[in-house]
Amino acid sequence: MNLGWLRLALKYIAYHRLKTLILIACIFLTAYLPIAIGVLLNQFNQKIVARAVETPIVIGAKGSRVDLALHALYFKSPVAETVPYRHVREIRETGWAIPIPIYSRFTAKGFPIVGTSLDYFDFRQLRIADGNRFVMLGDCVIGSQVAEQHQLRTGDSLLSDRENILDIAGLYPLRMHVRGVLAPANSPDDWAVFVDLKTAWIIQGLGHGHQDLQDETDENKILARDGNKIVASAAVLPYTEITEENVDSFHFHGDIGDFPLSAVIAVAIEEKSETLLIGRYQTVQQDSQIIDPQEVVQQLMSMVFRVKQFFDANALLISVSTLLLLVLVVWLSLKLRDREMETMFKLGSSRGMIALLQIGELGIVFAISGVLVGGAIWFTWRISGDLVQSLLLER
């Protein structure tokens, strides 16, 4: 078979490089962008729905259902209002569900500090790769990404962030002890710092300790002594580190039942218990709300997909416009090449070969564009999981 037309087509494309690159870029972008958006959106849908399916009902303060769901699932969208800790006691007393409290307001090196109970680790099936779970006030268990990004391991310390660095009279950061490091779970838990609820409350200032000055020898910390009475100077501050020596000095003021929680995950014992709990919160508890994260996330995604329909329509119009532009460019190009084609015909080329040459040139352009689109889509699919995860966890 004579492949002279193919050699001529390749020669023509190589000579007119700029025009060829422009055509390939137009075809590539028109085809790739809508498909890539669809791949990322489907991956986003799978990730967010999977996390929601694993999470049963969530209880929180009245307000945005979406914010509450995202906060309970990803520790994002800080809730405007909190619910009192007594909700945990009340749920536990009913025997209908296992309450897992969450209080996430503060950060450490930009990662969310999540105050919770040990039940959370069993609920999320989180495994300790190094060390143990927190056992004392001031202990923390860090996610694998927290440990990797800041080169932390068991025995190291981690300082909580100030809410406002300009507020020099505000709460002092708490120096937490890394008691354990979680194994990678490919979930938001990899990017979190877990502490006991009381530790989170201490960071907020609801609990604190005081230094014993009876045996204090540093006179800079003492203004005056009068028998058993000691007047302390401003050098004596609430502890920023909890140790075995001073842990007993830490205490809380007020009723712990009134202390704040940002959300409560209720793991029902059985389906009937879940129905009873939902009914209780819908009729009795007027200061809070109960949501099904899966239902909320599906409603959110349905809105996203409805918006995507407009983008799909826009992409279709752009594709048609690009195709028409391409037809115009090819037609004008053929008009400019009339004398060239006539010369080839006079040199002995058949009309069929000339037509095959022109089709071959377009075919090569579309083939190169198709290969590039396929490779780009494959690469997008490979990184889509990590990309979507980083978007979900970005604070």
pLDDT for residue 39? 86
Which range of 230-239, 289-298, 304-313 scores highest in mean pLDDT? It is 289-298
Q: According to the model, what pLDDT value does residue 230 have?
A: 42
For residue 197 the two structure tokens come to 């609820």
Q: What is the pLDDT of residue 344?
A: 63
Q: What is the mean pLDDT of the chain?
A: 80
Closest CA to 176 of 206, 145, 216, 136: 136
pLDDT at 236 over 50: no
Query: Does the pLDDT value for residue 160 go beyond 70?
Result: yes
The mean pLDDT of 269-298, rounded to a whole number, is: 82
| pTM summary value | 0.74
pLDDT 10s digits, 133-146: 998 898 999 999 99
pLDDT digits 0-9 by tens, 173-182: 888 999 999 9
- Give tens-digit pLDDT for 90-135: 888 888 889 999 999 899 988 999 999 999 999 999 999 999 999 8
Which residues of the chain form beta strands (DSSP E)?
A: 57-61, 83-84, 97-108, 111-116, 128-131, 139-142, 157-159, 175-182, 193-196, 207-208, 222-226, 229-232, 251-252, 260-261, 263-268, 288-291
Pairing of the two strands 175-182 and 222-226: unpaired
pLDDT in tens, 28-54: 888 888 888 888 888 888 878 888 888
- pLDDT, one tens digit per residue, over 207-218 is 776 555 444 444
Average pLDDT over residues 252-269: 89
For residue range 263-272, list pLDDT tens digits in order. Answer: 999 998 888 8
